[in-house]
Amino acid sequence: MSARRLGQPEVLLPTAAAGVTVTAFALLPAYTDAGLSSFDVYNTFQIFARLGLLALALGLTMIAGEFDLSVVGTYALGGMLTVQAGQEHYAYGLLAAVAAGAAIGLVQGGLIAGLKLPSMPVTLATYIALLGLTSALSGGLTKTYSNASVTLWVDRTVLTYFSPRSLITLGLFVLAAVVLSLTRWGRELRAIGGDRRASRVAGVRVDRLLVGTFVASGVLSALGGSLLSFSLGSANPDPGVQPLIVAAAAALLGGVSLTGGRGNPLGLLGGIMAVALLTEIVTVAALPAYVTQLFFAGLLGIIVVIDAPDLHSALVRQRTRLRAGTSRPSPAGAQPGNQT
Amino acid sequence: MSAPARLDAAASPGGRQRSRADVVINLIVVLAVLAAIVVGLSTHRFATVANAKAIITSAGLVGIAALGLTLITIGGSAVSLAIAPTVAAVGMMFLSAQSLGLVPALAIALLCGVVITGVQGAVVGYAAANPVVLTIAASFAITGLAIGISGGASVAPTGSGYDRLNATPGGVALSVYVLIVLALAVEWTLRRTGFGRSLYLIGANRPAARAAGLPVGRTTAVAWLGAGALFAVTAAFTAAFNTSANVNLGGTLTFDAIAAVLAGGTSIAGGRGSALRTLAGAVLIAGVSDILLLRGYSTGVQIMVKGLIVLFVVVIVHLRTKGSRA
C-alpha cells in the first residue's frame, strides 16, 4: 500500500481509529487495575455483533450519498418480529424480520429514487412510523423469547474469541466487501454518492442501485435486530438513540463522509471495531453510564464538525492564502472540494 | 442532490401533463382531508366543545416547540433531533430554580435553552455541520449531562410560583394563548424583518446567500437561538404541568414537533414555510392523535400514524414544489 493511498481519508481514518483503540485496549492493564483476559476480546466482538450490521447498513447508504435514519426503526422492528414470529421455530422469526426489512427498504428506495425525494425526511418519517409500529405490535412492552436453546447457541464461545453471532456479523462484512470490490457495484455506489448526475450520464443505473442499497440497508438492520433478540432472549420496542449514535460514529470513523462518495465495507469494519473496543475499554474501566454517553456524544460531535464542508473550505482558503504569498496556488487549493 | 432532480422534472414532462399531475395531487389532498373529517365526525365525542379544548391544549405545548423548529427548518438546517432532551434538561432547571421566584426561574430556563441550542446552531451555521447528526450527538450529550448532574432522579419544584403557568383563563390553558402570541410574533419576524428574509434566502440556497454577502453563519445561529428560547418556553409549561421533571420529561416531543412542522407543509429542504403553517400542522397532529385516542388506539399506533402523515405530506409537498417550479 503506497503512502499516497494511505493518505486518503477512507483508509487513514479507520486505520488510525482501529490502531489507536487497539493500543489503548492492549495497554488497559497499565492504567487501570483491571487485567485483560480472552473474555474481554470475546466481549468486544459481542459489542461488534450488536451494532456492526447497523453500522454497515447506515454506512452503505452514506457511501451512496444518502442517510438512512430509519435503520434503528428497522432494527427494532426486526428484533420484535423475530421474537413474535419465531416462537415456534427461529427460522420463521428470521424470515419475517428479513422480509420486513426488505419491504421497508423497497418502499423507501422506491420513493427516494422514483420521486427523487431527499432521503432524510423520508427515512425520518419511516423511523417514526416504524417505532410506532413496533410499539403497537408489542403493546409497548418488552417481549421475551422462549426458545432458550437458540439464545444459548448464538452466544456460545467459538475459537475462544468468537460466538456464532459475531462470526455471522463478520461474515456479512466480508461478503459486502467482496461483493463491492469484485463487482462494479462498489465503484458505482461511490460514483452516485460523489456526483449523481455525472454517474447517470456515464450509464450507471442510479435508480436501481439506490433501491438496491436501501433494500440491503433494511435487510442488514433487520438482521441486526434479529441477532440481538436471539442473544438477549427478548425484544425491546424502543432501542432509543444510542444505536443510531454509535452506528453513525462508527460509519464516520470508518472513513465514510456525510456528503457521500467515499468509503468501503472494510473501512466500516475498522470503524465499528474501534467503537466496540472503546465501549469495552469504558466497560472494563467501570465508568458510570452517563460518562460513556457523554464520551460517545463528544466523539460523534467532533467527527461531524471535522466532516463539516464549510470548515474544510475555510481551511483550504486559509492554506491557499498562505501559499499565495510565496507561489501560485495549487489547483487543489484553488477549488474547495465540496459539492454542497 | 435535489438540483438535478428539479432539472429533470423541468425538462421531461410537457405543461399539460404537469397540470394534470397537479390536479391529481390536489385531489388526493382534498380526499385525505375529507376522510379525516369523516372519521373525526363519526368518532364518538369528537365534535364536542370539551374535546376541542383538549385538542388545542395538547396542540399548545407541541406548537410552541414546533415554532422553534420552524425557524431551524426554514433556515435550511433540516430538523433538530435534540428537542425532547433540551426540553427535559431545561424543565429540570426551571423547577429547581423555583425558590428564586417565577420570573427569575423563567429567565434561567430561557438562558439555558438559548445556550444549549445556540451552541449547536453556531456549529451548524459557521461550519455547515450536518444538523441531524450533530443534534443526535447533542441529544445524547444533554441527556448524559442531565443524568450526571441530577443523579438520574426526578427534580421536584423548590417553590410554587410555577403554578401560575397552569392557569386556564377562559377555560383554555395559558399555553394556548402564549402559542398564538408567539406564532404571530414569529410570523411577523419571518415576513417583516431583514433577519427573516435572510433566513428564507439561506434556506433556499446557501451558496447563493453566501455569494450575495448575507451573514450565513450568524443568521443561522440566531435562528437556533430563537428556537432554543421557544424550546425553553415549552419546557417551562411542560414542567409546570407535570409538577416534576426528569430526563424523560420531553417524551415524544421531538417527533411531535417534527410532525407538526412537516404536516403544516414547511419544506424540510428549507426556504419555504411559515409559523402559521406550523400552527395548523400542530392542530392537525393534535386532532389526529385525539381521534386515535378516542377510538382506543395505543400510543404505538398514534406514533405510527404521525410517521405516516409526515411521510405523506413530505411526498405531497415535494411533488407540488416540483410542479410549481417546472
Number of domains in chain B: 1
Give bridge partners of residue A158 from the DSSP assignment. Answer: A162
- Is the pLDDT score of B152 beyond 70? yes
Give the mean pLDDT of chain A.
84
pLDDT band at B1 (very low <50, low <70, confident <90, very high): very low
Q: Measured between alpha carbons, how far is B111 from A272 in angstroms, rounded to an integer?
A: 38
pTM exceeds 0.95 for this model:
no
Q: Measured between alpha carbons, how far is B199 from B214 in angstroms, rounded to an integer?
A: 9
Q: Measured between alpha carbons, how far is A85 from A340 in angstroms, rounded to an integer?
A: 45
Q: What is the pLDDT of residues A184-234, one digit of tens each?
A: 888 888 888 888 888 888 888 889 999 999 999 999 999 999 999 998 888
pLDDT band at A338 (very low <50, low <70, confident <90, very high): very low
Range name among A19-23, A87-91, A292-296, B322-326 with the lowest pLDDT average: B322-326
**pLDDT value at position A332?**
44
Q: Measured between alpha carbons, how far is A164 from B273 in angstroms, rounded to an integer?
A: 51
Residue of A nearest to B3 (CA): A197
- Is the pLDDT score of B239 beyond 90? yes
User: How many residues does this entry show for chain B?
Assistant: 326
Asked if the Cβ–Cβ distance from B133 to A304 is below 8 Å, we say yes
- B79, B137, B318: residue with CB nearest A117: B318
Q: Measured between alpha carbons, how far is A276 from A261 in angstroms, rounded to an integer?
A: 25
Q: How many CB atoms lie within 10 A of CB B173?
A: 23
**pLDDT value at position B323?**
55
> Of B81, B64, B195, which Cα lies nearest the Cα of B131?
B81
Between A219 and B3, the more confident residue is A219
- Correct CATH for A8-291 of 2.40.50, 1.10.3470, 1.20.58, 2.60.40: 1.10.3470
- B137, B303, B319: residue with CB nearest A132: B303
The three cell numbers of residue A257 are 463522509
Identify the top-confidence range among A64-78, A155-169, A193-207, A256-270. A64-78
**pLDDT value at position A6?**
62
Residues in chain A with CB shorter than 8 Å from the CB of B147 are: 289-290, 293
Helices B49-74 & B253-263 angle (0-180, nearest 10)? 80
Which contiguous run of DSSP H or E holds residue A144? strand A143-144
Give bridge partners of residue A235 from the DSSP assignment. Answer: A143
- If you average pLDDT over residues A297-324, what whole number do you get? 79
Q: What is the pLDDT of residues A287-302, one digit of tens each?
A: 887 888 888 888 888 8
| Cβ(A19)–Cβ(A178) below 8 Å | no
Q: Measured between alpha carbons, how far is B162 from B271 in angstroms, rounded to an integer?
A: 37
Between A183 and A31, the more confident residue is A183
- Is the pLDDT score of A328 beyond 80? no
H-assigned helices in chain B:
2-11, 15-41, 49-74, 83-96, 102-127, 131-150, 174-192, 194-204, 206-211, 216-242, 253-263, 275-294, 299-325
- If you average pLDDT over residues B294-314, what whole number do you get? 88
- Is the pLDDT score of A77 beyond 90? yes
> Of B97, B114, B99, which Cα lies nearest the Cα of B233?
B114
Q: Measured between alpha carbons, how far is B108 from B158 in angstroms, rounded to an integer?
A: 14
Asked if the Cβ–Cβ distance from A129 to B303 is below 8 Å, we say yes
Instruction: For chain A, give the percent of residues with pLDDT over 90.
Output: 29
Between B60 and A307, the more confident residue is B60
> Which amino acid belongs to residue A77?
L
Residues 6+ apart with CB under 8 A from B100: B108, B159
Q: Measured between alpha carbons, how far is A113 from A46 in angstroms, rounded to an integer?
A: 35
**pLDDT value at position B9?**
42
Give the mean pLDDT of chain B.
86
Domain of B240, CATH number, reads 1.10.3470
Asked if the Cβ–Cβ distance from A294 to B145 is below 8 Å, we say yes
Residues in chain B with CB shorter than 8 Å from the CB of A293 are: 140-141, 143-144, 147
| Cβ(B277)–Cβ(B266) below 8 Å | yes
Instruction: For chain A, give percent helix, strand, coil, nearest 5.
Output: 75, 0, 25
Asked if the Cβ–Cβ distance from A132 to B311 is below 8 Å, we say no
Range name among A81-85, B67-71, B268-272 with the lowest pLDDT average: B268-272
**pLDDT value at position B33?**
79
Residues in chain A with CB shorter than 8 Å from the CB of B2 are: 116, 118
Q: How many CB atoms lie within 10 A of CB A332?
A: 11
Residue of B nearest to A118 (CA): B2
**pLDDT value at position A330?**
45
* A-to-B residue pairs, Cβ atoms closer than 8 angstroms: 172
Q: Measured between alpha carbons, how far is B289 from B259 in angstroms, rounded to an integer?
A: 11
**pLDDT value at position B321?**
74
**pLDDT value at position A61?**
93
**pLDDT value at position A258?**
82
Distance from CA of A153 to the nearest CA of B (A): 32
Q: Measured between alpha carbons, how far is A284 from A265 in angstroms, rounded to an integer?
A: 28
**pLDDT value at position A329?**
45
Residues in chain B with CB shorter than 8 Å from the CB of A308 are: 123, 127-130
pLDDT band at B142 (very low <50, low <70, confident <90, very high): very high
**pLDDT value at position A333?**
41
Helices A185-194 & A164-182 angle (0-180, nearest 10)? 80
pLDDT band at B322 (very low <50, low <70, confident <90, very high): low
> Which amino acid belongs to residue B26?
N
- Is the pLDDT score of B101 beyond 60? yes
Asked if the Cβ–Cβ distance from A118 to B268 is below 8 Å, we say yes
Q: What's the first-to-final CA gap in chain A, in angstroms?
A: 31
Phi and psi at residue A211, in whole multiples of 5°? Answer: -60, -45
**pLDDT value at position B108?**
94
pLDDT band at A325 (very low <50, low <70, confident <90, very high): low
- Is the pLDDT score of A7 beyond 70? no
Distance from CA of A311 to the nearest CA of B (A): 5
**pLDDT value at position A2?**
53
**pLDDT value at position B2?**
41
Between A323 and A268, the more confident residue is A268
Distance from CA of A295 to the nearest CA of B (A): 8
Residues 124-163 of B with CB under 8 A from A: 126-130, 132-134, 136-141, 143-145, 147-148
Residue of A nearest to B2 (CA): A118
**pLDDT value at position B104?**
92
Range name among A103-107, A126-130, A285-289, B113-117 with the lowest pLDDT average: A285-289
**pLDDT value at position B324?**
53
**pLDDT value at position A1?**
46
Between A154 and A323, the more confident residue is A154
Distance from CA of B273 to the nearest CA of A (A): 15
Which contiguous run of DSSP H or E holds residue A232? helix A206-232
Q: Measured between alpha carbons, how far is A189 from B149 in angstroms, rounded to an integer?
A: 45
pLDDT band at A53 (very low <50, low <70, confident <90, very high): very high
For A304-322, letters b (16+ CB in 10 Å) and e give bbebbbbbbbeebeeebee
Asked if the Cβ–Cβ distance from A128 to B318 is below 8 Å, we say no
Residues in chain A with CB shorter than 8 Å from the CB of B134 are: 301, 304-305
Identify the top-confidence range among A22-36, B97-111, B165-179. B97-111
- Is the pLDDT score of B300 beyond 50? yes
Domain ranges within chain A, ordered by starting residue: 8-291
Dmax (CA) for chain A in angstroms is 75
Q: What is the pLDDT of residues B108-133, one digit of tens each?
A: 999 999 999 999 999 999 888 889 88
Residues in chain A with CB shorter than 8 Å from the CB of B62 are: none
Asked if the Cβ–Cβ distance from B262 to A125 is below 8 Å, we say yes
Residues in chain A with CB shorter than 8 Å from the CB of B123 are: 305, 308
- Is the pLDDT score of A95 beyond 80? yes
Range name among A282-291, B89-98, B123-132, B225-234 with the lowest pLDDT average: A282-291
B25 touches chain A (CB under 8 A): no
- If you average pLDDT over residues A51-64, what whole number do you get? 92
**pLDDT value at position A22?**
83
pLDDT band at A4 (very low <50, low <70, confident <90, very high): low
* Domain of B43, in residue numbers: 2-325
Range name among A234-238, B100-104, B218-222 with the lowest pLDDT average: A234-238
